[in-house]
Structure 1
């Protein structure tokens, strides 16, 4: 599915064609805010970061984030695995960037059991908000974050990078929010914390079979 830009003064929604696990709003770094949200069983819906540090051109990595072309010694290590032992989740991590329409990629439906790290945010373990997105379910069935709703405050989350080093986080809270009022600034905005956010879909289904909420897990570095 290709998302439809929907300029609004406040956060709004873009309907999707079929049920899926994931829908996250978008805030673009531009003169005006453009908001996208919805569910789809293919790539094309997700969220972009509310700018932290200095504004960056949409489509480039924010300062301090992973740049695939950078020399090994000059770039931060990229996260490659997430583990949440208390709920039995372990997944490799794909990198999620921006689509041609400036929405953020989500893992494709056929890779529903793989979570993704949004490269426009912080690297997990560094200062700022690192965001990992995963499906609840897809047209193929249950997906990687299907049981994320079972996570409890105080649970451990470990993110391992491509150099074999691990960052351990502790869950500080969760919230299920309407996609119409997603707290974009709270999730993606600047923070001095070494923060981690996990996002999937949640809640009841609307008449079209789309989940009406997003589940957000907040965690900080130990």
Structure 2
């Protein structure tokens, strides 16, 4: 899944876009017996309260200060990740990607989740015949929630407002990575059909979410 990614000028948004697209251009063969299934639409699912059991509600401004993301919860698709790795750049200019199917990471060259702008979290749809953290990302619907637990013991709760799939050759860089006036989140993985002749998935799946709530968690 690694290909060289070039930084274009000094624009962070474009740089992040190029790097992340490159990171998901290649993938190992898909899971044996579990081919990717395309989303077929349908009504949004009901939204339950965010999974922050021992918590105190905070103003959302409290999570706009920098703090590393520590964990990721997406109840609607059964994602529970206890640790997020940091994704930077390698010495040859390529974006680092999660090392296995069960790891997710956030791009440290952009905002941390909760800060103003589009924070980016990436994970595999599958890897080496194992379903990845974002195997069901394509199934998310507007109105569902994503919870990022941060190192400062705050939790940022994002509400999904858009789920799209793009051919990699037509990836909308500005829409996905352009500046936003408020804190947002992008969840990104591969999607669509797997092309065995090239070893690539043909598409990217992108989930867009906005910061909606904040909590202070207790031990």
Q: Distance in 2 between matches of 1:180 and 1:168?
A: 32
Q: Distance in 1 between matches of 2:155 and 2:145?
A: 12
Aligned to 1:100: 91
Shift of 1:156: 0.6
More helix by share: 2
Aligned to 2:3: 3
| Structure 1 counterpart of 2:26, from 32, 39, 45 | 39
Q: Any stretches of 5+ residues in structure 1 without a counterpart?
A: 5-25, 42-74
3-state SS in 1 of match to 2:73? strand
| Structure 1 counterpart of 2:135, from 116, 130, 146 | 146
Shift of 1:209: 3.8
Matching of residues 158-177 of structure 1 within 5 Å? 158-177=147-166
Shift of 1:187: 1.6
Matching of residues 193-208 of structure 1 within 5 Å? 193-206=182-195, 207-208=197-198
1:220 aligns with 2:205: no
* TM-score (norm: length of structure 1): 0.69
* TM-score (norm: length of structure 2): 0.69
Matching of residues 76-115 of structure 1 within 5 Å? 76-91=66-81, 92-108=83-99, 111-115=100-104
Give the length in aligned residue pairs: 166
3-state SS in 2 of match to 1:176? strand
Moved over 3 A (4+): 31-36
Q: Distance in 2 between matches of 1:214 and 1:2?
A: 15
More strand by share: 2
Shift of 1:140: 4.1
Q: Distance in 1 between matches of 2:191 and 2:2?
A: 22
Q: Any stretches of 5+ residues in structure 2 without a counterpart?
A: 29-64, 213-219
Aligned to 2:9: 30
Shift of 1:148: 0.9
Deviation string for 1:68-89 (max 9, x for gaps)? Answer: xxxxxxx821001110011110
3-state SS in 2 of match to 1:80? strand
